[in-house]
DNA sequence: TTGTACGCGTTATCAA
DNA sequence: TTGATAACGCGTACAA
């Protein structure tokens, strides 16, 4: 509570005194807007250097109304997809003089979103929200610029950065079908969540496209986490021979890991006893033997583009295309076994 | 630049007017310090609710001198170790009313650290620095409370949260030796960095302890990244039969991944053609078949403890033990092959 | 118990 | 081209 005024930071006043000018002159030099004589400017700059003066960002924000700060909301920091998105966004923001505040929504209750908005509304100029959480958030409470990454809410009207989720699982499913698979399991994510929803749709649409009847027993849902993948794979494996899927599509990185975990526990491997394809590339998919066939998303770029759109919004631009669709691609590895008819 | 005063946020003044009291009374109610009559308090609370008043954190910080914000500096967000540390710290801070600012130091030049300190010195009350970057940082410029996580600089005097790095690699090396290995390769990290240094020391000390002469050709250095592991493993494998290591110790998660990558490319596997042990548990170590024998660190807890120490510092406490040592443990998996004498 | 008024470090307006 | 000063929203001595 006690402020120690003795070793206070040096302020604009100190600089003004040292340079023998008014504080408004110092401010002008620092912000380089109005004209200042070369001589005065030099004196001020010297005083700044000598005193090691640093602007008080808080005071600047108070009067300008801008914090030059962006809030990033992610479901979880331990997921490598989120990590990459953050990396991309942070680099872009930092390079443009913006600072990044961060908050994870793991274990959030409904009410916590409201608190989050309250707490940060005065601290950040804009907000970047990464998938997962958004479906439970009431974005309407946030009145400043907002960009959604990897989420889309048709009933609302936000700027978003996405990939074509439906096409992704379509490709994964198609890959299995073209290799002769007919009984294909699906490990869905959270039933109501937007990205998961599209991915499930892609699976169904591929099945239909190739005239295969989808089997309810081969579709499992739950969460974005490992556990859902493990449970699903275990259930699939316990089906009788004729009903058991020969291939499985996992809708995200962690559920894929869960599938692989169960396989490993039973001495099985994707690409040997069963085929597996999944959304999102990750270490395990890339370097396990055989590797997993996946849909790779430009994660760093998604973060960067999200930040780019947000800064555009902050500078008053209003891009008329609200949804930005990024490219994703299928990477074929050894996890899909060709099956003879 | 233009502040739109028309739809300004509601301020403490508005609340005071609505409640028919002075702003100082509102402040008192909000901060609950001084005594306020029950009736007045009720009126104020109602006014707050009706107007949807939210304190302006910036203004509060200006007058209190505290930002209730902590800066977290990490080398990279895409590394799962860092992600976990962030997760642990963020949860702890959030629960205590603190906000987290974040910055990655990937690709930082020397001078950037100075800029970083400048930029954030007024924005955060304290700083949490995660390994990697610290060795190139001049922490002296940061005058507020600081806690180092997974880094130790003997020449300086900071609060740190660590594990016994030397013991970790000692155990990894010992595990190989006890399984009959004698030619053991080491994939070191950044030569000058503190944690890497201790880990290299652990390897050397195990070798010496068991009377094995360390071979320079079996020690490779470079970075914390995959590439260093790949290069090292490739070099090891190209050694003539009698000089080639039968076991390898990787000092961190990514270099371990790099090793596994090279093995995979050549159709080899850790636990088959060669033995491998590594620092840090991660997806690939856990679920590849066979799994990798690793040192597991309590990553989330390290973040949490770091935050805890920092908040203690911020509240004026000065724990006399500056170095906090966390427990790590060896997890045995199938990547170590017993070798007959 | 409550109200007045000052200060926190800036920017921006208006005069000089 | 420069200087004086009113905001920005709040906490808190000090007075009432």
Average pLDDT, chain A: 91
Q: What is the pLDDT of residue B199?
A: 94
Same domain, yes or no, for B170 and B293? yes
* A225-247 pLDDT, tens digit each: 899 999 999 999 999 989 999 99
Does residue B60 form part of some domain? Answer: yes
Q: Where are the beta strands (DSSP E) in A166-307?
A: 184-187, 219-220, 247-250, 275-279, 293-296
* B1: pLDDT strictly greater than 90: no
Name the pairing type of β-strands A293-296 and A329-331: antiparallel
Per-residue model confidence as pLDDT tens digits over B191-233 = 778 888 899 999 999 999 999 999 999 999 998 889 999 999 9
A24 CB less than 7 Å from any atom of strand D: yes
- Nucleotides on chain C that have an atom closer than 7 A to a protein CB are 1-5, 7-13
Is A78's CB less than 7 Å from nucleic acid strand D? no
- Whether any strand D atom is under 7 angstroms from the Cβ of A63: the reply reads yes
Residue B119 contacts A, CB cutoff 8 Å: yes
**B59 CB-to-strand D distance under 7 Å:** yes
Q: Is A35 near strand D, with its CB below 7 A from some atom of it?
A: yes
Give the H/E segment covering residue A163. strand A159-163
**What's the Å distance between residue A114 CA and nucleotide C8 C1'?**
30
The answer to whether A310 touches A124, Cβ cutoff 8 Å, is: no
Of B103, B120, B288, the CB nearest to A288: B288
Sign of CA dihedral A249, A254, A260, A262: negative
Asked whether residue A125 is assigned to any structural domain, the reply reads yes
Per DSSP, the three-state class of A73 is strand
A337 part of a folded domain: no
For B151, the token pair is 């880094």
In chain B, count H helices and then E strands: 12, 12
Q: Which of A54, A101, A261 sits opposite B118 (nearest CB)?
A: A54
What pTM, to 2 d.p., does this model score?
0.92
Q: What percent of chain B shows pLDDT beyond 90?
A: 74
Q: Closest to B76 (Cβ–Cβ): which among A87, A104, A291?
A: A87
> Minimal Cα distance from B283: which residue of A?
A284
B87: part of which helix (H) or strand (E)? helix B80-95
Interchain pair B87, A77: CB under 8 A:
yes
CA of A16 to C1' of D4 (A): 13
| Contact flag, residue B60 CB and nucleic strand C, below 7 A | no
Cβ-Cβ contacts under 8 Å for A54 (sequence gap 6 or more): A9, A10, B118, B121, B122
Min distance A183 CA to chain B CA atoms (Å): 25
CA separation for the pair B172, B164 (Å, rounded):
13
- pLDDT tens column, B116-140: 888 898 999 999 999 765 455 666 6
Q: Is some CB atom of chain A closer than 8 A to the CB atom of B49?
A: no
The Cα–Cα gap between A199 and A213 comes to 17
Residues A238 and A289 in one domain: yes
Q: Same domain, yes or no, for B35 and B86? A: no
pLDDT tens by residue, A290-318:
999 999 999 999 999 999 999 999 999 99
Q: Specify whether the CB–CB gap between A162 and A325 falls below 8 A.
A: yes
User: Which of A65, A283, A299 should one mutate to test binding to chain B, selecting the residue with the greatest count of B CBs within 10 A?
Assistant: A283
Cβ-based burial of B274 (10 A; exposed 0-12, middle 13-18, buried ≥19): buried
Q: Is residue A190 part of a domain?
A: yes
Tell whether B287 and B197 lie within a shared domain: yes
For residue B158, with 0-12 CB atoms within 10 Å meaning exposed, 13-18 middle and 19 or more buried, which class applies?
middle
Q: Are residues B178 and B226 in the same domain?
A: yes
Farthest CA pair distance, chain B: 90
CB atoms within 10 A of CB A271: 20
Distance in angstroms: CA B23, C1' C4: 10
Alpha carbons B218 and A3: distance in angstroms, whole number: 57
Measured from the CB, is A55 under 7 Å from any atom of strand C?
yes
Q: Which of B1, B87, B101 sits opposite A78 (nearest CB)?
A: B87
Whether A136 shows a pLDDT value over 70: the answer reads no
DSSP-derived letter for residue B270 is B
Task: Name the strand (E) or helix (H) holding B324.
Answer: strand B323-326
pLDDT over 70, % of chain A:
94
- A317 — phi, psi (to 5°)? -70, 155
Whether residue A200 is contained in a domain is answered as: yes
Strands B275-279, B293-296: pairing kind: parallel
The tens digit of pLDDT for each residue in A154-187 reads: 777 899 999 999 999 999 999 999 999 999 999 9
Model pLDDT for residues A36-69, shown as the tens digit of each residue: 888 999 999 999 999 999 999 999 999 999 999 9
Q: Domain with A35 in it: what CATH number?
A: 1.10.260.40
Is the CB of A284 inside 8 Å of chain B's CB atoms? Answer: yes
- Tell which residue, A6, A28, A109, A83, has the closest CA to residue A254: A83
Tokens of A333: 């590895």
Lowest model confidence (mean pLDDT) among A2-6, A303-307, B53-57, B136-140: A2-6
Secondary structure of residue B295 in the 3-state scheme: strand
**pLDDT greater at residue A211 or residue A33:** A211
- The whole-number pLDDT of residue A310 equals 98
pLDDT surpasses 50 at B102 = yes
pLDDT at B193: 80
- The answer, for A56 touching chain B at a CB cutoff of 8 Å, is yes
Residue in A66, A73, A72, A75 with CA at minimum distance from that of residue A91: A72
Please report how the helices B38-51 and B12-19 are oriented relative to each other, as an axis angle in degrees rounded to 10: 120
- For B134-246, strand residue ranges (E) read 146-149, 159-163, 184-187, 219-220
Q: What is the number of other CB atoms lying within 10 angstroms of the CB of residue B53?
A: 19
Residue closest to B88 by CA, chosen among B130, B124, B121: B130
Say whether both B174 and B152 belong to one domain.
no
Locate the chain B residue with the closest alpha carbon to A108: B91
**What does residue A184 show for φ and ψ, rounded to 5 degrees?**
-120, 120
Residue A9 Cβ under 7 A from any strand C atom:
yes
Instruction: Determine contact: B90 vs chain A, CB below 8 A.
Output: yes
Coil, strand, or helix at residue A79?
A: coil
Model confidence at B2: pLDDT above 50: no
Nearest DNA or RNA nucleotide to A37 (CA to C1'): D1
Residue with tokens 């907002």: A146
CB–CB of A80/B89 below 8 Å?
no
Q: Are residues A156 and A271 in the same domain?
A: no
In a domain, A333, yes or no: no
Q: Say yes or no: B94 contacts chain A, CB-CB below 8 A.
A: yes
- Cα distance between residue B267 and residue B277, in whole Å: 19
Q: Mark whether A18 and A133 lie in a shared domain.
A: no
Domain enclosing residue A57, as ranges: 12-64
Nucleotide lying nearest to A16, CA to C1' measure: D3
Number of separate domains in chain A = 3
Q: Which residue, B29, B44, B64, sits at the end of a domain?
A: B64
Nearest CA to A82 out of A333, A289, A306 is that of A306
Whether the CB of B287 is below 8 Å from some CB of chain A: the reply is yes
Q: Residue for token digits 């990477």?
A: A331
- Angstrom distance (rounded) from CA A237 to CA A258: 13
Closest partner residue to A90 among B87, B102, B260, by Cβ? B102
CATH number at residue B93: 3.40.50.2300
Same-domain status, B236 and B309: no
CA B121/CA B108 separation, integer angstroms: 18
Does residue B231 form part of some domain?
A: yes
**Same domain, residue pair A136 and A173:** no
Residues A270 and A315 in one domain: no
Question: Do B52 and B96 share a domain, yes or no?
Answer: no
Residue at B93 is within a domain: yes
**Amino acid whose CA is nearest the C1' of D3:** A22
- How many helices and strands (H and E) does chain A possess? 12, 12
| Strand D footprint nucleotides (protein C-beta < 7 Å) | 1-5, 7-13
How far from the centroid of its chain's Cα atoms is residue B139's Cα? Answer: 16
B129 backbone dihedrals φ, ψ, rounded to 5°: -115, 125
Establish if B98 touches chain A: CB-CB under 8 angstroms: no
Beta bridge partners of A225: none
Q: Strands of A184-187's sheet, edge to edge?
A: A219-220, A184-187, A247-250, A275-279, A293-296, A329-331
What lies within 8 Å, CB to CB, of B75 at 6+ separation is B82, B104, B105, B106, B130, B131, B132, B133, B224
- Say yes or no for a CB contact (<8 Å) between A58 and B123: yes
Alpha carbon of residue B32 to chain centroid = 36
The fraction of chain A above a pLDDT of 90, given in percent, is 75
The answer to whether the C-beta of A56 is closer than 7 A to strand C is yes
């Amino acid at each position: 509570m006690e402020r120690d005024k003795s070793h206070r930071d040096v302020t604009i006043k100190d600089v003004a005194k040292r340079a023998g000018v008014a504080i408004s002159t110092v401010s002008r030099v620092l912000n380089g807007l109005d004209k200042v004589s070369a001589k005065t400017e030099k004196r001020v700059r010297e005083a700044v250097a000598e005193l090691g003066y640093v602007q008080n960002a808080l005071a600047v924000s108070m009067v300008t109304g801008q914090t030059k700060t962006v809030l990033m909301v992610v479901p979880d920091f331990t997921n490598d997809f989120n990590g990459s998105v953050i990396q991309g966004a942070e680099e872009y923001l930092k390079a443009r003089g913006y600072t990044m505040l961060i908050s994870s929504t793991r274990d959030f209750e409904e009410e916590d979103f409201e608190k989050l908005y309250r707490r940060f509304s005065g601290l950040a100029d804009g907000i970047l929200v990464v998938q997962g959480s958004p479906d439970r958030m009431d974005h309407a409470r946030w009145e400043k610029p907002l960009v959604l990454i990897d989420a889309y809410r048709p009933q609302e009207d936000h700027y978003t950065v996405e990939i074509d989720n439906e096409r992704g699982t379509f490709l994964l499913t198609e890959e299995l079908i073209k290799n002769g698979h007919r009984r294909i399991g699906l490990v869905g994510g959270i039933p109501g969540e937007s990205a998961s929803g599209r991915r499930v749709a892609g699976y169904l649409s591929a099945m239909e496209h190739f005239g295969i009847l989808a089997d309810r027993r081969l579709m499992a849902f739950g969460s974005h986490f490992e556990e859902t993948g493990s449970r699903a794979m275990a259930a699939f494996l316990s089906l009788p021979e004729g009903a058991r899927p020969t291939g499985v599509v996992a809708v995200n990185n962690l559920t894929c890991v869960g599938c692989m975990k169960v396989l490993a526990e039973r001495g099985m491997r994707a690409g040997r006893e069963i085929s597996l394809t999944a959304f999102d590339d990750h270490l395990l998919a890339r370097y396990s033997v055989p590797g997993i066939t996946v849909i790779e998303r430009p994660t760093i770029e998604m973060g960067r583009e999200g930040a780019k759109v947000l800064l555009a919004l902050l500078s008053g631009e209003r891009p008329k295309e609200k949804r930005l669709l990024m490219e994703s691609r299928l990477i074929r590895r050894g996890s899909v076994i060709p099956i003879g008819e």
